[in-house]
Amino acid sequence: MADHIPLYPVQSAAAAAAANRKRAAYYSAAGPGQGADRHSRYQLEDESAHLDEMPLMMSEEGFENDESDYHTLPRARITRRRRGIEWLVCGGWKSLCTSCCDWLIHVCQRKKELKARTVWLGCPEKCEEKHPRNAIKNQKYNVFTFIPGVLYEQFKFFLNLYFLVVSCSQFVPALKIGYLYTYWAPLGFVLAVTIMREAIDEFRRFRRDKEMNSQLYSKLTVRGKVQVKSSDIQVGDLIIVEKNQRIPSDMVFLRTSEKAGSCFIRTDQLDGETDWKLKVAVSCTQRLPALGDLFSINAYVYAQKPQLDIHSFEGTFTREDSDPPVHESLSIENTLWASTVVASGTVIGVVIYTGKETRSVMNTSNPKNKVGLLDLELNQLTKALFLALIALSAVMVALQGFVGPWYRNLFRFLLLFSYIIPISLRVNLDMGKAAYGWMIMRDEHIPGTVVRTSTIPEELGRLVYLMTDKTGTLTQNEMVFKRLHLGTVSYGTDTMDEIQNHVITSYSQTQSQASGNNASSTPPRKAQSSAPKVRRSVSSRIHEAVKAIALCHNVTPVYESRAAGAGETEYAEVDQDFSDENRTYQASSPDEVALVQWTESVGLTLVSRDLTSMQLKTPSGQILTYHVLQVFPFTSENKRMGIVVRDESTAEITFYMKGADVAMSTIVQYNDWLEEECGNMAREGLRTLVVAKKSLTEEQYQDFESRYSQAKLSLHDRALKVAAVVESLEREMELLCLTGVEDQLQADVRPTLEMLRNAGIKIWMLTGDKLETATCIAKSSHLVSRTQDIHVFRPVTNRGEAHLELNAFRRKHDCALVIAGDSLEVCLKYYEHEFVELACQCPAVVCCRCSPTQKAHIVKLLQQHTGRRTCAVGDGGNDVSMIQAADCGIGIEGKEGKQASLAADFSITQFKHIGRLLMVHGRNSYKRSAALGQFVMHRGLIISTMQAVFSSVFYFASVPLYQGFLMVGYATIYTMFPVFSLVLDQDVKPETALLYPELYKDLTKGRSLSFKTFLIWVLISIYQGGILMYGALVLFESEFVHVVAISFTALILTELLMVALTIRTWHWLMVVAEFLSLGCYLASLAFLNEYFDVAFITTVTFLWKVSAITVVSCLPLYILKYLKRKLSPPSYSKLTS
């Protein structure tokens, strides 16, 4: 099929071969980072297959540059051609420095290639390779890199670098203007605060790492057990892990204290699923009589090279000293990955991967320093101001006529006008961010919210894409049995007592029959096969259905033993106390637990289970024993699980099966209700399972078993042959019932998703769960609205299939997309650009079976392709990479631990709090910061305009208008409080913002802070500065002191009035700030004798002149604002009026 795909012109074979080699070299150099993992996932095909390797949208220059792997877009590549001076000015210097630093780091940390390994049991010294230390390290810096690292992070911003240069210039006598403290004090303050904040964060990380690394474990040696720190564990060590202890490194499972030779582990911090997973010990070592015998045998484990995939493992276990040597193949069920927790018994394992090579570390990405969009926009504006500053200084020197040492004058002018770019901008914004964080944490409508990254609260107001996890984020991960349908009759939650009565009566009948049979000593024989098929009574059908649900599963009842001393989990023996209160059920799927809990509630209880048998307790307390002959596990391909059991009392063999309706509809006998009822239940948001059975004779079973064991031993196409044998059983099965289980949603998920959708936010659900489950939750949570179609992306494995499927998807309009992780991988490999473009047009996207790295990869793709702000929400350890990759990460403290909420920028307790966090706090933070930033710039511009007017009047002299303290006082005590009180301003009441989420759409356009609004502020500053200065010069008396007094007083009053003009909603603190600043100014007039003539200030002349100038500078703006509100009011004012 792939041959017929029309391709864009591609390279010649020789060029492609060279490119392939180059790419292979690039990937091997990249080490185990992003490049390598992509490479390991799709091994390069041979060079002849280069066509298949090329994405559709690629021309020859794609591989020209070693840095560009084939995920770079044509769009991104065009921008890379801007070389030369323009490129240097437009940030080229930064990328030059960055690439040099990257190259240095790359040289220093040459990553070694990952290799497969042979690990001898208990002999770390036999390892040929040197493996990484088993230490966890989340710190960003060490002792030596801390100060340089923090300073680099600060001075890579143009704003801060500029202040550093200006402050340093004051050490040159010829350039000195005013006092040193006017420049160094603000800069020192900003740096001190930043360094303190980083140091505290870094120390916390250090403490957390140290705690993890110093956990003690028992290591088995020839001389017995020794205690060893987690960070000192090596490859080849035999480690003992107790119940409820974290597994310190990736191990192969050798022995367990459990009789069954298997144990349960909790994997919630690895894959986000809260259910327990069953792991099986290597049978050769489990059979050894005693623990110490592990050292008497000569055995090794061969393990594949470390990989990202947490769901697969290939290896072999070999014992050499037995005759013949024992070889056992190892798969994922024989492994214990790091960061999982042992849930039952004690386990002994041999360490195969440590430190950076463990699955959990390979699946986490390094946290990046997040910078808000608003900060980047302000950084652009400061660059524009800097250009204006240079232009203004050059004009001044030119008007002077380049006399004398003009370049020194140029530099003096640059320093005089340096207030155009105010240092207080960073101080105000950082304090503002801290204030927003404090407000978010104090909001009683969203209790328990924690702001962990104080630098990006404005991002909450700019989000376009929201990526959310499913399990534990949208759902509570608590399954409840809701519906049982028998074809003719359906039972809901309110009619479960009827089922209970039927079960009780049917079991009391069978018991009395059994006692009668025993009396007449007739052997029990199968009644059903000989009797003609009559329509059975409802009671017997319910009995059969409940029994099937109670038997067809992989659930194990676990009993907590009463003895306080022995905190071991014991498997129930027949003689043990089967009391209900200390029994818990464990399974790898919460659905199965819900079904078994339901059968217990209607009277049929699972009391014990091991690998070969299980026991049920009837309502009357009788114990029924069933021998488990075969179990066919659930896989994502077959979508069903089966079990063959033999009833001990009657020796009947029954094959039970349950699975998804798509898989079961072809297996069960013909009926007319199954499809319709499945559809009805799915629309209610229930997860449906179809249950069926088939009775087997002894001969039928023996024939099946011989064919099955033969298929399991075959070397070629084993999986296919086994599936074919099982399918021979799966024919004409008797349909028993249809069950509906509900995964309860978190509180208020539906209205919250509705609100976010109305706010113009596109929601993507990224989950590790199965496709059916994910689709079901997408419907029930209204992520996909009822009217929308769902397009399920068919599984694709190669380029041709991906091409056809993408074309099929392109024809659909306004439908939600559901795609599995592996198909997504194929699409991104060949058609990344097209796929993302199509997916972005969907109202909702659901990606299921996603690995943690895939989730992060999707977030990065959206950032690159759309350039919009992304947010990630999750609650488990598997969401950490996605949360760290997104522009704004929100963690939910859930059942899956606190890992996500600790790694996130904002931590909340419930999903519904996101609505208020974005609509109210996001909106306010962005609007306030935009107003604050522009106002602080206005404050600097207005005084620079006055300086320019003053210099031009006095023959272009580079003399400061206001000396020393006046300048410091102007930026601090006289105007600081009113300007900073803008952080209390709000344009819309919180209730209105939540009621009309559509208002949020305006924010994403970024209109509150743009070059347009900035230019308006520049014009206002020039107008006011000009009026103030010319007014003072026109009205001034014989002395120069009077100009300073009149213009400075008018300037302060103008600033205070301008704050009042900018405010949209008054707060009592704002009024206090206005009067406090005015009071401070009036009080300080008495002390500033060197600047002001006190006798002149107290005259009426002074008062009327100041008032006149102030009125002329502010009144026109008030009139303009009034007209604008009348003629083109903003959208929110229409709602509030």
**DSSP H helix total and E strand total for the chain:** 43, 34
Q: What angle do CA 719, 725, 726 make, to 5 degrees?
A: 90
Q: Per this entry, what is the length of the chain?
A: 1137
10 Å CB burial of residue 698 (0-12, 13-18, 19+) is exposed
Chain position carrying tokens 């007094």: 1045
Chain position carrying tokens 């949209």: 1064
Contacts of 287-292 with C-beta under 8 Å, sequence gap 24+, read 288/255, 291/220, 291/255, 291/348
Q: 37, 250, 469, 661: which is the annotated catalytic residue?
A: 469
Task: Give, in order, the Cα–Cα distances in Å from 877 to each of 167, 901, 1014.
Answer: 46, 9, 43
Helix (H) or strand (E) holding 829: helix 821-841
Which residues lie across from 892 on neighbouring strands? 908
Alpha-carbon gap, residue 1039 to 1053, rounded angstroms: 22
Alpha-carbon gap, residue 243 to 257, rounded angstroms: 10
Cβ atoms of residues 485 and 738 within 8 Å: yes
Alpha-carbon gap, residue 226 to 929, rounded angstroms: 58
Omega prior to 324 cis, within 30 of 0 = yes
Q: Which tokens sit at 1055?
A: 């600033």
| Those residues with Cβ within 8 angstroms of residue 354's Cβ, 6 or more apart along the chain or in another chain | 131, 132, 133, 134, 233, 234, 235, 249, 250
Alpha-carbon gap, residue 799 to 805, rounded angstroms: 10
Which residues lie across from 897 on neighbouring strands? 894
651: phi > 0 → left, psi -120 to 50 → alpha, else beta; which? left
Helix (H) or strand (E) holding 631: strand 623-632
Alpha-carbon gap, residue 59 to 74, rounded angstroms: 9
Q: What is the DSSP string of 479-539?
A: EEEEEEE-SS-EE-GGGHHHHHHHHHHHHHHHHHHHHHHHHHTPPP--HHHHS------HH
Q: Which tokens sit at 932?
A: 């604050």
Alpha helices (H) in 363-484, listed in sequence order: 373-400, 406-416, 424-442
Pairing of strands 262-266, 341-342: antiparallel
Alpha-carbon gap, residue 1115 to 1016, rounded angstroms: 16
10 Å CB burial of residue 734 (0-12, 13-18, 19+) is middle
Active site (annotated) includes residue 469: yes
Q: Which DSSP symbol is given to 242?
A: -
10 Å CB burial of residue 223 (0-12, 13-18, 19+) is exposed
Nearest CA-CA partner of 194 in 155, 226, 251, 168 = 155
Chain position carrying tokens 């014991």: 570
Which residues lie across from 480 on neighbouring strands? 742
Which residues lie across from 616 on neighbouring strands? 606, 624
**Strand stretches in 283-346, DSSP E:** 299-303, 315-319, 326-330, 335-336, 341-342
| Those residues with Cβ within 8 angstroms of residue 1122's Cβ, 6 or more apart along the chain or in another chain | none
Which residues form the catalytic set? 469
